[in-house]
Amino acid sequence: MFGVFVNSVLPVASIFFIGLWMGRKNIFQLADASLFFRFVGQIAVPAIIFSILLSTDFSSLDLNLIWLYLLAEFLVYGLGFFIARFAFRLNIAHAILIGMACSFSNHVLFVLPISNFIFDPIATLPIRGAIAIDCLSLTLSTVWLDVVNSSRSGKPFRFLNHLKNPLMISLLICSPFVLGIINSPTIFMRLADFIALSAAPLALFASGILLSEKVSLKGLKIAFFITCVKTIIYPLVAFLIMIKFLNYPFDSARSILMVAAAPVGLMPMTFASKYGVETSSIALAMLWTFIISLILIPIIATV
Task: Tell me how far apart the alpha carbons of residues 125 and 111 are, in angstroms, rounded to a whole number.
Answer: 12
CA 80 to chain centre: 15
Question: Which pLDDT does position 72 carry in this prediction?
Answer: 95
3-class secondary-structure state, position 105 = strand
pLDDT above 90: residue 80 = yes
Task: Tell me how far apart the alpha carbons of residues 136 and 300 are, in angstroms, rounded to a whole number.
Answer: 26
Give residue limits of the domains in the chain: 2-302
* pLDDT higher at 246 or 157: 246
Q: Contact at 8 Å (CB) between 193 and 269?
A: no
pLDDT above 70: residue 273 = no
Question: Which pLDDT does position 160 carry in this prediction?
Answer: 63
DSSP state at residue 187: H
Percent residues over pLDDT 70 in the chain:
88
Chain segment 193-218, per-residue pLDDT in tens: 888 888 778 877 887 887 766 667 77
What mean pLDDT comes out for the span 37-46?
80
Chain segment 102-149, per-residue pLDDT in tens: 999 988 778 888 888 888 878 888 998 898 888 778 878 878 887 887
What mean pLDDT comes out for the span 66-91?
95
The band of 162, judged by pLDDT with boundaries at 50, 70 and 90, is: low
The band of 79, judged by pLDDT with boundaries at 50, 70 and 90, is: very high
What are the CB-based long-range contacts (under 8 Å, 24+) for 194-199?
A: 195/43, 195/44, 195/47, 196/44, 196/47, 196/48, 196/51, 198/39, 198/40, 198/44, 199/40, 199/44, 199/45, 199/47, 199/48, 199/108, 199/109
The band of 226, judged by pLDDT with boundaries at 50, 70 and 90, is: very high
CATH number of this structure's domain 2-302, picked from the four choices 1.20.1530.20, 3.30.2020.10, 1.10.760.10, 3.90.1150.10: 1.20.1530.20
CA-angle at 107, arms to 230 and 81, nearest 5°: 35
Q: Contact at 8 Å (CB) between 202 and 42?
A: no
Task: Tell me how far apart the alpha carbons of residues 89 and 72 are, in angstroms, rounded to a whole number.
Answer: 24
Least confidently predicted of 11-25, 149-163, 260-274: 149-163
Does the pTM surpass 0.85? The reply is no
* 81 contacts: CB under 8 Å, gap ≥ 6: 95, 96, 98, 99
Question: Which pLDDT does position 99 carry in this prediction?
Answer: 96
Q: Which has the closest alpha carbon to 207: 292, 264, 134?
A: 264
